[in-house]
A and B are shown apart, each in its own frame.
Chain A
């Protein structure tokens, strides 16, 4: 089974057309155009008209493009986005199987009418309420369209009546439940890159690598990035380090030699290499290869497109 590599997912408000125009240049594995948060009601129709172009633009360097729809306008928002280059929708506030099944029926319809391969559009439920956390199993198993599920921590805290602070982490249970239930269902759990809701755009690269590494060590498979400066750090933290890849490459060689010599345990670098260690090594090397393949794919897409420009709106 191939490994889905979607480490970083840059989320950009749909109303920020300038940012969307530049979003493809930031090396994110995915870009999500957010129609829900920050879109003034008066702007929504205008935004829908150009949404297909925005999707195409955001994806031109190989990023998979998602649209975060309004929970109340799943049909209108999805229909406005449906077309070449759309990978799927993010469904805010999902908290039961029916929410996801209803959205799936809408996508069935759009796939038929737009000539998109059946069941190819993904649904990423966004968990934003206590009920969403509690009912996460039925929510993510409602349709095979669900490949990832994201925990929107700031929204969840607001829904629980919590004001987030750095002193006490209120979402240990929610995060843990999401990681366990998603992994059990074969769905990737996705975190957000400002776990306490208190980070600014000025987080240092080292800090962001630490934040991303900690979330990976809870079982998450990627992060939603509210700011493009975080993408690089997130990609790095979610890609097996070169030293690790070297180590496990040698582990596999040592173990293969041991097997050839008729034993299934061999000492290497102060550690006994046996079947479980070899299995772990396979996992790491497979993930490394998948990341490399994804990076090559993005590289190829980038080379086929315009030159890089120097100034970015985020940098100003």
Chain B
């Protein structure tokens, strides 16, 4: 997907078992709040977390964020039963591994949608390909359900035990990230992730490193990323939004291309020492379009904070 249908730059993962973090999450400004039942909730706390989940959904949307719930596929029935209520935008499946597993998740969601009065197909899926098998099966996993909107590597560095190389790059990650971006494009889904480097691990980094990881991530095709701390949200929003200077340059290229083609005698032309071809013009048009979508999303979130209801873009 060249330009994602929805702007989802920052996905803040918040453990449902920590009420103070759940209530603080909306003020962080994330495009998506991920209420987590899987990764950061101790086994013994899970029953209570599931109980409390339904009442967390609407409050989490108070600042205009979408709300996803992150589930453990081994506990999919219990986790989905706790999560699929009106207000839910989607489910994040950790350790997504096989097509059968995703079809089972899809079927349970369909059943719950119908019983609980959600419109059919409204709950989206974001799949974390965190295991080697999940990545290997990526195409089948990604196409197993029409709900699937996003793919990510989640915390693959931990799940697959991928450690930093002497260069600071995390072993195998360059390959896995670019593979995922290609796979997402091939299956019409949006690739999520940031290009983390040592000492970052498991979505965890300082705000400065998060910004750098987001900028690098965007450069290789990611459109947003998960994070685990409130102070990572702003760097993700910033890093995944085209900068003003990029947008200005892209506008320039689009205009130059438009006037060159309008004359009917388009030739290869150079703008700022760069050859302007139709594909470079397409890249620039994408930047402009995504920038506009980000502005619309940001205006919606500001309006939500101000209490002004405006329609979802």
Contact = CB atoms under 8 A, between A and B. Distances in A.
Q: Touching in the complex, A and B, CB below 8 A?
A: yes
A240 interface: no
Contacts of B175: 172-173
Nearest to A152: B279
A15 interface: yes
Interface string B266-285: 11101001110111101110
Contacts of B223: 161
A163 B178 contact: no
Q: Which of A129, A130, A167 has the most CB of B within 10 A?
A: A130
Contacts of B280: 154, 158, 197
Given A157-B283, A162-B283, A40 B290 contact: no
B275 A157 contact: no
A169 to B, nearest CB: 8
Contacts of B220: 162, 168, 170
A316 interface: no
B275 A163 contact: no
A131 B274 contact: no
A165 interface: yes
Interface string A27-45: 0000000000110101100
Nearest to A135: B186
A37 B185 contact: no
B186 A133 contact: yes
B268 A163 contact: no
B183 A158 contact: no
Contacts of B182: 130, 133-134, 160, 173-174, 177
A174 B178 contact: yes
A83 interface: no
Interface in A181-228: 194, 197-201, 226-227
A226 to B, nearest CB: 7
Given A37-B277, A161-B1, A161-B3, A134 B183 contact: yes
A183 to B, nearest CB: 18
A15 B279 CA distance: 17
A208 to B, nearest CB: 14
25 contacts: A37-B277, A38-B278, A130-B181, A130-B185, A131-B186, A134-B183, A157-B279, A160-B185, A160-B221, A161-B4, A161-B286, A163-B242, A163-B250, A168-B216, A170-B178, A172-B175, A173-B178, A173-B181, A173-B182, A174-B182, A197-B275, A199-B275, A201-B275, A226-B275, A226-B277
Interface of A: 13, 15-16, 37-38, 40, 42-43, 129-131, 133-135, 152, 154-155, 157-165, 167-168, 170-174, 177, 194, 197-201, 226-227
Given A37-B278, A200-B273, 8 more contacts: A13-B266, A13-B267, A160-B182, A162-B219, A163-B283, A174-B178, A197-B275, A226-B268
Give 10 closest A-B pairs by Cβ, nearest first. Answer: A130-B185, A173-B178, A154-B279, A134-B186, A168-B219, A158-B282, A170-B220, A131-B186, A155-B279, A161-B2
